Chains A and B, each alone.
Chain A
Amino acid sequence: MTREEIINQVNSVLAEEFEVEDSNFAPDAIVKDALSLDSLSLVDLVAIIQYTYKITVPVSDLPKIKTFNDLYDYIEEHLQK
Chain B
Amino acid sequence: MGIWSCIGKTLDEVRQSLYEGKSGIVFSQERKDAGFRSALCAHVEMPDLKPFVKRGPRQFMPEEAQYAYMATKDALEAARLDQDYIDEHEVGIIYGNDSVAEATMRALDKFREFTNTSACGSGAIFQSMNSTVTMNLATLFHLRGINLTSSAACASSSQAIGLASLLIRSGLQDCIVCGGAQEANMFSVASFDGIQAFSTRENEPTKACRPFDRDRDGLVPGGGAATVILESLEHAVKRGAPILGEVVGWGFSGNGDHISTPNVAGPARSLELCLKNGGISDVRQIGYVNAHATSTQAGDGHEALAIAQNFGDYRVPVTSTKSQTGHEMWMAGASELIYSMLMMQNGFIAGSLNFENPDEETAQINVIPETIEQKFDMFLSNSFGFGGTNSTLIVKEFKS
Contacts and interface: CB of A to CB of B under 8 A. Distances in A.
Interface string B51-85: 00001100100000000000000000000000000
Contacts of B120: 47
B116 A44 contact: no
10 contacts: A18-B55, A40-B56, A40-B59, A41-B56, A42-B122, A44-B122, A50-B118, A51-B114, A56-B116, A57-B118
A38 B116 contact: no
A40 B114 contact: no
Contact of A44 (B50, B59, B114): B59
B121 interface: yes
B62 to A, nearest CB: 16
| Interface class of chain A by DSSP | helix
Nearest to A39: B122
Contacts of A19: 50, 55
Contacts of A38: 56
Contact of B122 (A41, A50, A51, A59): A41
Contacts of B119: 47, 50-51
Contacts of A56: 114, 116
B110 interface: yes
A65 interface: no
A1 to B, nearest CB: 20
Contacts of B55: 18-19
Interface of A: 18-19, 36, 38, 40-44, 46-47, 50-51, 56-57, 59
B114 A50 contact: yes
Contacts of A51: 110, 114, 119
A43 B119 CA distance: 8
Contacts of A36: 56
B37 to A, nearest CB: 33
Interface size class of B (residues with CB under 8 A): 10 to 19
What 4 A-B pairs come out closest when comparing CB atoms? Answer: A40-B122, A43-B122, A19-B55, A47-B121
Contacts of A42: 122
Interface string B93-132: 0000000000000000010001010111111000000000
Interface in B315-329: none
Contacts of A59: 118
Contacts of A57: 118
Interface in B119-166: 119-123
A43 B126 CA distance: 13
B56 to A, nearest CB: 6
Contacts of B114: 50-51, 56
A43 B56 contact: no
Nearest to A46: B118
> In the complex, which of the residues A36, A47, A50, A56 has the most CB atoms of chain B within 10 Å of its own CB atom?
A47
A42 B50 CA distance: 20
Nearest to A36: B56
B110 A47 contact: yes
A46 B118 CA distance: 7
B59 A41 contact: yes
A17 B110 CA distance: 17
B54 to A, nearest CB: 8
A51 B110 CA distance: 9
A43 B110 CA distance: 13
Contacts of B121: 43-44, 47
A57 B121 CA distance: 13
Contacts of B50: 19
A60 to B, nearest CB: 12
Contacts of B118: 43, 46-47, 50, 57, 59
Interface in B185-199: none
Nearest to B54: A19
B119 to A, nearest CB: 5
A80 to B, nearest CB: 20
A44 B122 CA distance: 6
Nearest to B115: A56
Nearest to A18: B55
Nearest to A44: B122
Contacts of B59: 40-41, 44
B51 to A, nearest CB: 12
A48 B51 CA distance: 24
A50 B56 contact: no
A36 B120 CA distance: 20
Nearest to B116: A56
Nearest to B117: A43
